[in-house]
Amino acid sequence: MRQGRTWVFPQPPAIFATATVGGPREKEGPLGKVLDRAYEDPYVGEKTFERAERALLESAVAIALRKGSLAPENVDLFVGGDLLNQIVSTAYTARSLGVPYLGLYSACATSTGGLALAALLVASGAAATVLTGAVSHNLAAERQFRQPTEYGGQKPPTAQTTVTGAGVAVVRPSGLPVRIRAATVGRVVDMGITDPMNMGAAMAPAAVDTLRTHLADLGLSPADYDLIVTGDLGEVGRRLLLDLMRETGLSFDPERVRDAGLMIYDRERQNVLAGGSGAASSAIVYYGYLVPEMADGRLRRVLLLATGALHSPLSVQQGESIPGIAHAVTLERE
């Protein structure tokens, strides 16, 4: 059923199983204990960082299937994405799985984009079991979007640190007492930001646009959620989001508006500048921390609001601005 721009699921699909993996820095962060597997080596036993990224996703997929007592042939569709050209990490993982595959690119908003699509497919009966997830690797992303870390280029305090890891979920008609109640697919919002070292500012307007739409479509307010957790705005973007929420007349408790990029790392202790980013940042926080918190009854209703910066190195070099996107998914505990 559609309400405005929001899909509402009368028979809400369930999160059936989840899995998260991370690298050394993620293991040392505040959520290190929620990782199903943490790697000490950023190469993850591979020859390149790009192959390491693929291995992270393959590991998370294998763990999720094992936790759900599922084999690849039980999966009707694999939906996911990453940050590399042609989303190769996800495509090669799909090659290994050997199941039908839809690749998505919403940058760091891929986690909720994939979860929304998975829920729609299961709720409509088009699929019974959908695997969805996202992956990123700090050193692979640095090489693609900026410069190799060996170059030693200095970053401003507005820059964020790409998370090394992966998070996946299996969506089915039944499972954990965590249901996907509704989803809003965001629209591209561009406020003219051109600085790739300040992605929080580029993404925050899209976050508030999707948030306001989602709440209006459902007749809800921020107070109806235990938490609203954005993906990867970082310190700068979160402050801007709160300002925009106030300007648009939303009444809220700032303590209930959190950001995955600020939850996955300890900015006081770890050198991560404005916080975490990357497709895996929100995926790890959502599937490794929030879903278990809901399953255990500590949270009742949570809004996942992952954000993405839809730029490329070439578009930035040609002087284009950085568009933002945000997708929202409401999780409710039965």
- Model pLDDT for residues 86-99, shown as the tens digit of each residue: 999 999 999 999 99
Mean pLDDT of 9-31: 97
Mean pLDDT of 45-53: 96
Sign of torsion, CA 141 148 238 177?
positive
Compare 198 and 330 and report the one with higher pLDDT: 330
Mean pLDDT of 277-289: 97
Mean pLDDT of 18-41: 96
For 116, 238, 297, 334, the CA distances from 300, given in Å and listed in that order, are: 19, 23, 7, 8
Give the phi and the psi of residue 184 in degrees, each rounded to 5: -120, 120
Does pLDDT of 151 surpass 60? no
Helices (H) and strands (E) in the chain, counts: 11, 15
Is pTM, for the whole model, over 0.85? yes
Decide: residue 42, CB within 10 A, 0-12 exposed, 13-18 middle, 19+ buried.
middle
pLDDT class for 160, splitting at 50, 70, 90?
A: confident
Mean pLDDT of 276-298: 97
Q: What is the mean pLDDT of the chain?
A: 94
Neighbours of 9 (CB within 10 A): 18
Question: What residues have CB less than 8 Å from 114, skipping those under 6 apart?
Answer: 79, 80, 81, 104, 132, 133, 134
**Which of 74-83, 136-145, 178-187, 314-323 has the least mean pLDDT?**
136-145
Torsion region of 125: left, alpha or beta (phi above 0 gives left; psi -120 to 50 gives alpha): left
3-state helix vs strand vs coil in the chain, percent to 5: 40, 25, 35
Q: What is the DSSP letter of 99?
A: S
Which domains, and CATH codes, for the chain? Answer: 2-172 (3.40.47.40), 178-333 (3.40.47.40)
pLDDT, residue 18, reads 98
Neighbours of 74 (CB within 10 A): 15
> Six-digit token pair at 180?
């996907």
Share of the chain above pLDDT 70, in %: 97
Instruction: Give the model confidence (pLDDT) of 108-132 as tens digits.
Output: 999 999 999 999 999 999 999 999 9
**Which of 22-31, 50-59, 71-80, 158-167 has the least mean pLDDT?**
158-167
Mean pLDDT of 8-18: 98
Instruction: Give the model confidence (pLDDT) of 214-262 as tens digits.
Output: 999 999 999 999 999 999 999 999 999 999 999 999 999 999 999 999 9
Q: Residues 238, 124: contact at Cβ < 8 Å?
A: no
pLDDT class for 280, splitting at 50, 70, 90?
A: very high
pLDDT, residue 198, reads 87
Q: Residue 227 forms beta bridges with which residues?
A: 302
pLDDT, residue 274, reads 84
Neighbours of 89 (CB within 10 A): 29
Strand stretches in the chain, DSSP E: 2-3, 6-8, 14-22, 37-38, 77-81, 101-103, 130-136, 161-162, 165-172, 178-184, 227-231, 257-259, 276-277, 301-309, 324-333
Side chain identity at 286, as an amino acid letter? Answer: Y
Q: Which residue has the tokens 């939303």?
A: 250
Does pLDDT of 156 surpass 80? no
